[in-house]
A and B are shown apart, each in its own frame.
Chain A
Amino acid sequence: MIELGKYAGAVIGAYGLSLALLGGLIWQTLAANARARRDLERQENRG
């Protein structure tokens, strides 16, 4: 583990929050895309 000194909380907090936000965005993007793809396939196979 690298030494972060007295600002460890700030640095880890900033990275943690940002990566959580980015992760949430990526997850939401992928989930919505998967759902749209699935719904579309189902509709195309029916018709």
Chain B
Amino acid sequence: MSIWEYANPVKFMRTSGAALPWVVAGAAVCTVTGLVWGFLTPEDYRQGSTVKIVFLHVPAAMMAINIWVMMLVASLIWLIRRHHVSALAAKAAAPIGAVMTLIGLITGAVWGQPMWGTWWEWDPRLTSFLILLLFYIGYIALWSAVEDPDSAADLTGVLCLVGSVFALLSRYAVFFWNQGLHQGASLSVQPGERMSAVYRYPLYLTMLGFGLLFLALLLIRTRTEIRRRRLAALQAREMRA
């Protein structure tokens, strides 16, 4: 029994079908509870009620980066071991990642307006996310532009590798270019810099919720892609017969 058995589409469909209700339920419970809990937290003495936005902003931003990393890993698995499920998972993840990036940017802008007095600032973190969004858009556009599915998987895989290097490079280039307004990491291991527990626990819950939500959406979307692929194969067989 190895993990590679899940690269078999039939096996993947069976296992993911069995796991899906649990993941969906977990995602729903964690996200809804976390967001409601976050919405009911007391006001921060400096930020007022805008502190509640953090429960959307931080998990979305975290997932935006993690999803790209997941796509990179999936692309590598496809390029090295040629497992179709892996390529389809990378394809399925991209729109989720783009939406997460967009949520991160929008919530950041809405929070920044009253706090920094501006909707948008060319701050390194904000700019990096905008660049990440561009990479997501290019990746999705390339998937939809190439007709042959295996070529599309190969080309997007290579693009994902090159894009990862340049996304990282851009991030450091942007730090060089402009010093930031954005505060440091919201969750730090140093006790003095931590957020207070009132905000931290609902934040953990929403982060878990967004992770599970991504997993649920990813499974459903990958299943959609596998079904589409199978449909195309059946139709091609019928045309030949």
Q: Are A18 and B231 in contact (CB under 8 A)?
A: no
Interface residues, chain B, with chain A CB atoms under 8 Å away: 35, 39-40, 43, 48-50, 52-53, 56-57, 60, 95-96, 99, 102-103, 106-107, 110-111, 113-114, 213, 217, 220-221, 223-225, 227-228, 230-231, 234-235, 237-238
Q: How far is the CB of A17 from chain B (nearest CB, A)?
A: 5
Asked whether A10 and B220 contact (CB < 8 A) given A37-B227, A40-B231, the answer is no
A37, B231: Cα distance in complex, Å: 9
Residues of A10-34 at the interface with B, using a CB-CB cut-off of 8 Å, are: 10-11, 13-15, 17-18, 21-22, 24-26, 28-30, 32-33
A10, B238: Cα distance in complex, Å: 55
- Residue in A6, A7, A40 with the greatest tally of chain B CB atoms within 10 Å: A7
Point out the residue from B48, B111, B224, B231 that lies within 8 Å of A14, measured CB to CB: B111
* B54 to chain A: closest residue by CB: A14
Q: How many residues of A contact B (CB 8 A)?
A: 31
Q: Are B40 and A30 in contact (CB under 8 A)?
A: no
Which chain B positions have C-beta within 8 A of A22?
99, 103, 213
Q: Are B224 and A10 in contact (CB under 8 A)?
A: no
Q: Are B227 and A30 in contact (CB under 8 A)?
A: no
A24, B41: Cα distance in complex, Å: 27
A21, B227: Cα distance in complex, Å: 25
Which chain B positions have C-beta within 8 A of A4?
49
Point out the residue from A6, A25, A30 that lies within 8 Å of B96, measured CB to CB: A25
Asked whether A44 and B43 contact (CB < 8 A) given A8-B49, A29-B221, the answer is no
Which chain A positions have C-beta within 8 A of B57?
14
Q: How far is the CB of A20 from chain B (nearest CB, A)?
A: 10
Asked whether A40 and B49 contact (CB < 8 A) given A14-B56, A47-B238, the answer is no
A3, B49: Cα distance in complex, Å: 9
Q: How far is the CB of A36 from chain B (nearest CB, A)?
A: 4
Q: Are A36 and B228 in contact (CB under 8 A)?
A: yes
